[in-house]
Structure 1
Amino acid sequence: MNHSKATALPRALEAALWLLFALIWFGSLGYRGLIHADEGRYATISLFMLHSGDWITPRLNGLLYFEKPILQYWMGALSFAAFGVNEFAARFWPGLTGFLSVAAVALTARKLWGVDAGRYAALAAGGMAWIIANSHFLSLDMGVSFFLTAALCGFLLAQRDGASRAETRWAMWITWAAMAGAVLSKGLIGLLIPGAPLVLYSLVNWQWAFWKRMHWLSGLALFFALTAPWFALVSERNPDFAHFFFIREHFERFLTTEHKRTGAPWYFVPYLILGLLPWTTLLPRLVKEGWSDRAAGLRVGRLLLIWSVFIFAFFSKSSSKLPSYILPLFPALALLLAHSFSRMAPRELKKHMILPALLWLALLFAWPFAGRFANADSPPDVILPFARFIAAGAALFLISAVFAWRALGRQQMLAAVAALSFGSLIAVTLAASGHDSYGRLKGSKQIVAQIQPYLTPDSEIYSVRYYDQTFPYYVGRPVTLVEFVDEFEFGERQEPQRWMPHIGQFVERWRAAPKAVAMLGDDTYQELQKQGLPMKVIYQDPRRMVVAKP
């Protein structure tokens, strides 16, 4: 443990910084409308779970949906119950779990290496672009990343030198409970990701003693007490669940390209480089220091490095890739950064400020030319507001970088890291908020507001050969799909009465309906118009339109 004297910092100031961090972190959650696809999907499942009162069987737009486990849907439904149906409530769970991830690495670094290391860990994680971005976007990945981080931190605290038997027992119980949370958030990676790095660590370092201190009996009992009830209940009510969830959504997703989320082996490299900002150029130092960890007991640096490399390699090998899959490695890198910052001379950090400063400076200089990126799909009134937010974020980061540079000149390392962290937090938050102008083309908030007079309780609502995941959320009820399958294949096969596989069925039903509304693309509209189907366009943008029965 590092017993060096901690940087003097009044408790009131530290508390004020945490409060400021929380206000910025949570304050922007509700600013943007939800977008297609993840945000609409998970908000819709949670909202309709609350409406239906069925807390066991998840449904997407009224159809059985078993691609992921239940925990995030529960948290989303509880959030809607607590805060009302709004964007803040929809994003509260990823926002909360992101915040708790920052707190977890802060507490762990403090216990392992001292007070300053805890502060550096909070600043490293709280300013990391990929953690910020994913904490303010509704998907499953921040939730599962938090539980994996909690499992990692629990293990490190349990196995650290000087831990009492009681501390080891309680910390390992936290680890087992966190793995249960990860499994209930996203499936078997909740066991694989904590387990595989530990096996690799033991093989590389030939350390096996900690396996005897895992509290296997009570830990496994706790794990299965938390996970088994839901899996048993959902399987009892839905006999096809187990095969679909465990075989198709785990093994086939990893081994095949069925989900059409392929990518080159270096797919995640740019996300690692950009996601680690503003600390990206410190990565080689972290690798060197982590691998050279020569601690007599648990080599924390090596374990964190092996954890990070395994996650990166595992998802790089997978046949199904999405940018946020590698998110669980970033809190581990924040711990490595905390240990590195606490031993780094202030002058060494100066050179690592150059890359983030140049990137934000480039975005600031690109602002006057943003209109050149406009096209038919993304018109100027979408691009220009987005560019203004990015430019404002860039300017504020550059101002914070100046403060950091001056602090380093005065040997104030903690103040410099704090300036860079808060500058990054504000810059990324502003840039993400600016996406709302672009996001309006990827969501239905404005659409539903405009067509509200046509959405009476007896209106039939359709989505024809096109589906915006946010449409049923903002409408507040399921819409009938017409000739649209995609991820609904399982649900449509199980309950064929809930959708229309042929557009002819829709035409017949539309003619008979007293009131009806449909979202569709221009090609489908032209086709139906040629058939003489009575339709009135009540909304249109470059990507889709909504029609009502006259």
Structure 2
Amino acid sequence: MGVLPGMTPSRHTRDHRRAPADPTDAMDPTDATLKPCQALAWMILILLAYTWAVPFRDIYGLEARIALMAREMMENGLALFPRAMGRPYPDYPPLYFWLEVLFSRLIGHVNTLSVVLPSALSATLLVALTFILGREINRRTGWLAALILATSPDFWQKAGSAAIDMLLALTITAALACLYFRARDNRRQIRSLYSAGVLIFPALAFLTKGPIGIVLPAAAWGAFLLWEKRTGDLFRFALFISVFGAMCVAGEMAVAWETGGMDFVHDVMKMQVLGRVGQKAGKPFYYYLACLPAAAGPWFLWSIPQAGRFFARVFKSPGVATLRASMPSHPVMRLSTTWFLSVLIIFSLAGSKHARYILPLFPALAVILAAGVTRAMGREIPARHRVLEPLLMVIIGGLLVSGVIFTAFFRPYQASPVEIACTVLWLCAVCSGWLAIRNRTAGKFRVVALTALMLATGLSAFDFFARPIVSKRASGRAFVKTSESQVGPDVPVAIFGLGRDRDGVKYALYSHRRGKDIRFISRIENIKELPVPCLLITYEKHLSRIRAVAGLKNLRVLTRGAIRSRKTVSCLIAGQG
């Protein structure tokens, strides 16, 4: 395969094949070479950490819509645009839903695990790619970057959820990694493989979330080329990515026109591009800056001393020379910086803002934080270790004791033998991790390892003890099952008051009826036109109005329950007045 634009080996990248090892690496337990079987074992362990508690909870929140689209693909066959309740959905291309269908077919049906697996696998591969990129600086930075990313609170929670943005983050990271390694490797066959990756992964990113899958890697790599002063490569890359992106958009618009005509083309453009850019911002421009400390958790604290030293140098000797001397010298650090800033700026300027959108910058942030942690460890005061180590151990011990007490006394339902066994395994896994840290890490690195163990313990405890309870209250599964068990399978279902894209989706997901067969009523007067008998689903607050306005005689309440903690009722309409 020929040389792609923007990918010729540069003087900057050729001179940084691998940074020299830190003289303190001899004390570092991460200095050992990672064998392929060991790498596979670590990836399986990370995947299990993200998914072991998933089967104990329900599908809830935004996952319900994603799962419903996968269920409809299971029923009607794969489609280039996913459908919800029989209607094509313009927000998302199909890749994540295809993966859901694949895992659902392997399992036998759509369930929580099959819906979450694409996200969890993407997160596991992201940790591996982050290790590979960080290792270009040195082995310690690679290990720390992977550790920071894997245990960052927001990343962990999204890995255990059905998060389309996690798959987007993986494809974007893979595209940038291929661009970087293609530019630094002179072996023809290897460069051809990376060139193929430069074509494949942006295409997969586009199939995951549309044009933003092309824009983000293009902006990150373009800014990197500009920083490297490779203007010729930048021009060629800009031309290449523009043509490539235009071809992807044209193909999607052609499929949209075949799916639903010109109106659906407009809907796709609105939902994937114009609506997210042009709509009025509901959150301030600094929203994502406020999200970052919460997303990274304690790892963000390690960057504070480094930031303090940087600003101290700038204020002490202001000028271009000081800024230039403070800039990262390694090309991976420069790429991580442009990657982080590009994604942050693009999403900060967009009108639609959600914390999950910035998942594509997490690998870059992990590499940057890992470099900061490495420097901080080199300057750490031994006395501080003597304070932090016992504090972290007390927190870990407190989490273990809390988990046992909750299982024994406070769980709102009786724990099954499987749940009790999983609680014991969780205790054993945490204790094994603590013993490994105690026996295999020096005091200098023990605080970092204990921080990661504390985060993993707390996050896994939330996944196993708290999240199942939250999901069961929010999903409405019990309400749907109880409601439909009281009527025959041929009785039609109508929904009034529950939004089609909100709680209506949750009902449709757990209903035995096909999504397209559920009727949504927008006006109370239209309830009179429903066939008899009919199962009517509505919020309890609407019940008195329905009886007064619709004038129904034999309206019998079957079940009272909740969807997303909102009081909901199911009623059987057996006659009209």
User: Which TM-score band (shorter chain)?
Assistant: 0.7 to 0.9
**The 10-residue stretch of structure 1 (171-180 or 395-404) with the greater mean CA deviation from structure 2:** 395-404
1:285: how far off? 6.1
Q: In 1, distance between residues paired with 2:231 and 2:34?
A: 42
**The 10-residue stretch of structure 1 (441-450 or 334-343) with the greater mean CA deviation from structure 2:** 334-343
1:88: how far off? 0.3
Partner of 1:274: 294
Partner of 1:150: 174
Partner of 1:77: 101
Q: Secondary structure at the match of 2:31?
A: coil
User: Where does 1:304-319 land on structure 2 (aligned, <5 Å)?
Assistant: 304-319=336-351
Q: In 2, distance between residues paired with 1:151 and 1:317?
A: 23
Q: Secondary structure at the match of 2:352?
A: coil
Deviations 1:39-96, CA, capped at 9 Å, x for gaps = 1111101110120125134211222321222212222222211222211001111111
Deviations 1:427-462, CA, capped at 9 Å, x for gaps = 213224412312323212222232342353312112
1:113: how far off? 2.8
Q: In 2, distance between residues paired with 1:283 and 1:396?
A: 32
Counterpart among 46, 57, 60 of residue 84 in structure 2 = 60
Closer, same or farther in 2 for the Cα pair 1:216/1:270, shift >3 Å? closer
Closer, same or farther in 2 for the Cα pair 1:358/1:205, shift >3 Å? farther
**The 10-residue stretch of structure 1 (427-436 or 324-333) with the greater mean CA deviation from structure 2:** 427-436
1:481: how far off? 9.8
Question: Does structure 2 conserve the Cα–Cα contact (< 8 Å) formed by 1:462 and 1:481?
Answer: no
Closer, same or farther in 2 for the Cα pair 1:420/1:397, shift >3 Å? farther
User: Where does 1:10-409 land on structure 2 (aligned, <5 Å)?
Assistant: 16-36=41-61, 38-83=62-107, 84-110=109-135, 112-160=136-184, 162-208=185-231, 210-211=233-234, 231-239=253-261, 240-257=263-280, 262-284=282-304, 292-293=326-327, 295=329, 299-341=331-373, 345=377, 348=380
User: TM-score w.r.t. structure 2 length?
Assistant: 0.75
Partner of 1:485: none
Q: In 1, distance between residues paired with 2:172 and 2:34?
A: 32
Q: In 2, distance between residues paired with 1:513 and 1:209?
A: 72
Closer, same or farther in 2 for the Cα pair 1:25/1:409, shift >3 Å? closer
Question: Does structure 2 conserve the Cα–Cα contact (< 8 Å) formed by 1:117 and 1:339?
Answer: yes
Deviations 1:371-409, CA, capped at 9 Å, x for gaps = xxxxxxxxx969xxxxxxxxx9x9999989987996898
Q: In 2, distance between residues paired with 1:13 and 1:249?
A: 41
Q: In 2, distance between residues paired with 1:532 and 1:455?
A: 19
User: TM-score w.r.t. structure 1 length?
Assistant: 0.78
1:224: how far off? 7.9
Closer, same or farther in 2 for the Cα pair 1:210/1:166, shift >3 Å? farther
Question: Does structure 1 conserve the Cα–Cα contact (< 8 Å) formed by 2:137 and 2:332?
Answer: no
**The 10-residue stretch of structure 1 (223-232 or 419-428) with the greater mean CA deviation from structure 2:** 223-232
- For structure 2, list consecutive stretches of 5 or more residues without a partner in the other structure: 1-17, 311-322, 404-410, 414-423
Matching of residue 421 in structure 1 with residue 463 in structure 2: no
Q: Secondary structure at the match of 1:548?
A: strand
Question: Does structure 1 conserve the Cα–Cα contact (< 8 Å) formed by 2:82 and 2:88?
Answer: yes
Closer, same or farther in 2 for the Cα pair 1:436/1:216, shift >3 Å? same
Partner of 1:470: 506
Counterpart among 19, 24, 27 of residue 2 in structure 1 = 19
Q: Secondary structure at the match of 1:435?
A: helix
Q: Which amino acid letter does the alignment assign opposite residue 456 of structure 2?
A: L
- For structure 1, list consecutive stretches of 5 or more residues without a partner in the other structure: 369-379, 383-391, 483-497
Question: Does structure 2 conserve the Cα–Cα contact (< 8 Å) formed by 1:441 and 1:543?
Answer: no
Q: Which amino acid letter does the alignment assign opposite residue 420 of structure 1?
A: T
Q: In 2, distance between residues paired with 1:470 and 1:213?
A: 48
**The 10-residue stretch of structure 1 (232-241 or 197-206) with the greater mean CA deviation from structure 2:** 197-206
RMSD: 4.2
Deviations 1:309-336, CA, capped at 9 Å, x for gaps = 2322322232211111111111111222
Q: In 1, distance between residues paired with 2:286 and 2:381?
A: 28
1:230: how far off? 5.3
